[in-house]
């Protein structure tokens, strides 16, 4: 990179990404040999960049459909050549190769003095923590706060899950680490990208990648890691093109082998001016590749950034605070966007605020930062994100089919709210609570629905939406069938009475909290006790805010004994 102009390479040329339409039967790799005549030969293609196919869909069994376009990387000498390339009829679009940087411990060379910032000075939630160099507890304390130690006790430590760490590299145990790198080694790294040099360096981003890897393993100690180094030597360093290649590698590997299941990203752009197209355009190729990964089933997390306006990083320049601090894929609606608090549940003043450039409801929630981990103080939204990635590894182990939307919904539903009631643009839905989310996935109780909107489908059927947009659909008989935030059917009658489905699928009505279920959906008496549910079948609650204390089917039956009323006798008497 050019220190004077980060948008140019070492030779002073403009690094660009060129999108071209894939011709029938054409491999993207052909582009290296056929497209040298673009812009009259002005484009100097990068031979180290393997063209990236775009638009292919996952078909199963490791296969994907044919790409619609492909991306090349090259350089141009001037802005005039940039415009000439854009006008070339063979080219769909030209994108600048955006410079990127880690969301490391905030640098305050141009920012307000960091220290204890009272709410009167601009903290949106209580008094903010603006001291990234001062740890509040250790990574073990983080595990206890989130409850992951209790998840470990139940046998889930991340076994079988691979987390891809897209960052500045990892110095991995068992790898030929380059001279001049740190003597510290990170365990459980089993592969990565670039294929020839993963696990060999971490200095380009000052061991930031080692920090992220340590934080993942602090929450999921039996998970494994991919080192996906998007900085370092070779090609256009620290630019979005390397992240594009890394995501493409991860997506291909996932389609073939089922890993990595989780990708953690603690980096981004600090200012819109670094690249306005990437910052605000959802059709940017990197953002589209991220969405491809999410749609394929990979859980994708991004740090919100360190440009909150209470005590922003100096690199943020004028772009701080609400609406000007979460850019590009970091704030896409389909990813998990992570803000930060400390272990005392104090909001971190530099944590970037929503709305994001690509989604109004960001960040999604906050994770923990400012603790003693790899460094004396692992800090930034950079540390909060791999902590949550480790949590997601545990949750993905529990429910192997869980996708980004599934886990995001479970985490949202179990957050501890610290700001304005419900969602707010500072802390999102609150602080993640790993154990509660784990219990929700293994014991998915729906404790609250609050209807906030009504829409109509194509048949003009009224569909009510709950507070996070979950559809509540009436079945053929008019009974509301609710799909909760993690996709589990929750059945309730029109009055909001809780309904349970027995093993034969028959809905069984519970008339009052704690009363044994005796009536079927049509009001006919059921003389015998209902069948025991299948193992793992969720316990279902109503839509009227009733939340019985039962934690499983056996507790429901036991608790019913003391309160049981002969509903069958009452029904017969009425008849």
List the pLDDT tens digit at each of the 575 positions of the chain.
444 455 666 778 899 999 998 765 555 454 554 445 676 778 989 888 999 999 865 544 444 555 689 999 999 999 999 999 999 888 999 999 999 999 987 755 433 333 333 333 489 999 999 999 999 999 999 999 999 999 999 999 999 999 999 999 999 999 999 999 999 999 999 999 999 999 999 999 999 999 999 999 999 999 999 999 999 654 446 899 999 999 999 999 999 999 999 999 999 999 999 999 999 999 999 999 999 999 999 999 999 999 999 999 999 999 999 999 999 999 999 999 999 999 999 999 999 999 999 999 999 999 999 999 999 999 999 999 999 999 999 999 999 999 999 999 999 999 999 988 899 999 999 999 999 999 999 874 443 333 333 333 333 333 444 433 444 444 444 444 443 333 344 444 344 444 444 434 444 444 334 344 433 334 333 333 333 334 433 333 333 333 344 444 444 434 433 333 343 344 334 43
Q: List, in sequence order, the alpha helices (H) in 230-281.
A: 240-257, 276-280
Instruction: Find residue 428's DSSP bridge partners.
Output: 424
Q: Give the contacts of 134 (CB within 8 A, at least 6 positions apart).
A: 370, 377
Sheet containing 507-509, strands listed edge to edge, beginning at the edge strand earlier in sequence: 499-501, 507-509, 519-520
Q: Give the contacts of 573 (CB within 8 A, at least 6 positions apart).
A: none
418 and 345 Cβ atoms separated by less than 8 Å: yes
* Helix 240-257 / helix 285-296 crossing angle, nearest 10 deg: 20
Query: For residues 84 and 72, what is the distance between their CA atoms, to the nearest angstrom?
Result: 16
DSSP state of 458: T
Q: Which of 87, 423, 103, 95 is nearest to 279 (CA)?
A: 95
Query: For residues 267 and 249, what is the distance between their CA atoms, to the nearest angstrom?
Result: 18
491 membership: H or E segment, kind and range? strand 489-492
Q: Give me the phi and psi of 256, to 5 degrees please.
A: -90, -35
Q: Which of 55, 88, 64 is nearest to 74 (CA)?
A: 88
Query: For residues 446 and 359, what is the distance between their CA atoms, to the nearest angstrom?
Result: 26
**b/e per residue 56-79 (b: at least 16 CB within 10 A):** bebeeeeebeebebbbbbbbbeee
Question: How high is the pLDDT of residue 122?
Answer: 87
């Amino acid at each position: 990179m050019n220190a004077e102009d980060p948008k140019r390479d070492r030779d002073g040329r403009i690094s660009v990404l060129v999108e071209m339409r894939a011709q029938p039967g054409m491999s993207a790799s052909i582009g290296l040999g056929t497209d040298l005549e673009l812009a009259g030969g002005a484009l100097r293609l990068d031979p180290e960049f393997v063209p990236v196919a775009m638009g292919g869909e996952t078909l199963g069994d490791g296969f994907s459909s044919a790409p619609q376009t492909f991306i090349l990387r090259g350089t141009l000498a001037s802005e005039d050549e940039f415009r000439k390339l854009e006008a070339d009829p063979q080219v769909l679009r030209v994108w600048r190769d955006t410079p990127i940087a880690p969301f490391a411990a905030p640098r305050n060379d141009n920012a307000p003095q960091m220290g204890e910032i009272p709410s009167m000075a601009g903290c949106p939630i209580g008094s903010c923590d603006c001291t990234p160099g001062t740890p509040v507890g250790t990574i073990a304390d983080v595990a206890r706060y989130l409850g992951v130690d209790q998840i470990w006790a139940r046998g889930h430590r991340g076994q079988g899950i691979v987390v891809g760490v897209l960052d500045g590299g990892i110095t991995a145990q068992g790898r030929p680490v380059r001279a001049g790198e740190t003597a510290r080694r990170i365990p459980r790294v089993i592969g990565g990208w670039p294929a020839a040099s993963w696990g060999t360096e971490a200095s380009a981003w000052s061991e930031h990648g080692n920090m992220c890897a340590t934080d993942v393993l602090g929450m999921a100690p039996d998970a494994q890691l991919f080192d996906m180094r998007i900085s370092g030597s070779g090609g256009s360093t620290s630019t979005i093109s390397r992240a594009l290649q890394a995501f493409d590698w991860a997506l291909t590997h996932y389609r073939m082998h089922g890993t990595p299941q989780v990708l953690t990203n603690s980096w981004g752009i600090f200012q819109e001016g670094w690249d306005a197209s990437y910052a605000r355009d959802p059709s940017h190729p990197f953002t589209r590749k991220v969405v491809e990964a999410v749609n394929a089933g990979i859980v994708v997390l991004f740090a919100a950034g360190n440009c909150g306006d209470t005590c922003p990083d100096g690199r943020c320049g004028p772009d701080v605070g609400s609406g000007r601090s979460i850019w590009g894929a970091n704030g896409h609606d389909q990813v998990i966007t992570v803000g930060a608090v400390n272990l005392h549940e104090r909001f971190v003043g530099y944590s970037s605020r929503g709305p994001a450039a690509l989604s109004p409801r960001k960040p999604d929630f906050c994770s923990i930062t400012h603790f003693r981990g790899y460094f004396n103080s692992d800090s930034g939204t950079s540390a909060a994100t791999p902590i949550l990635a480790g949590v997601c590894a545990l949750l993905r182990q529990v429910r192997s089919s869980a996708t980004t939307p599934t886990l995001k919904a479970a985490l949202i539903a179990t957050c501890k709210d610290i700001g304005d009631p419900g969602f707010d643009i500072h802390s999102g839905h609150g602080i993640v609570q790993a154990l509660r989310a784990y219990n929700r996935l293994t014991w998915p109780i729906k404790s609250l629905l609050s209807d906030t909107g009504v829409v109509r489908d194509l048949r003009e059927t009224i569909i009510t939406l709950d507070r996070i947009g979950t559809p509540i659909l009436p079945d053929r008989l008019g009974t509301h069938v609710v799909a909760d935030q993690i996709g589990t059917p929750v059945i309730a009658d029109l009055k909001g009475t809780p309904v349970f489905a027995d093993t034969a699928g028959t809905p069984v009505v519970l008339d009052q909290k704690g009363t044994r279920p005796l009536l079927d959906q049509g009001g006919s008496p059921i003389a015998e006790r209902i069948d025991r549910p299948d193992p793992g079948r969720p316990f279902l609650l109503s839509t009227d805010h009733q939340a019985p204390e039962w934690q499983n089917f056996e507790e429901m039956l036991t608790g019913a004994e003391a309160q049981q009323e002969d509903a069958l006798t009452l029904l017969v008497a009425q008849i």
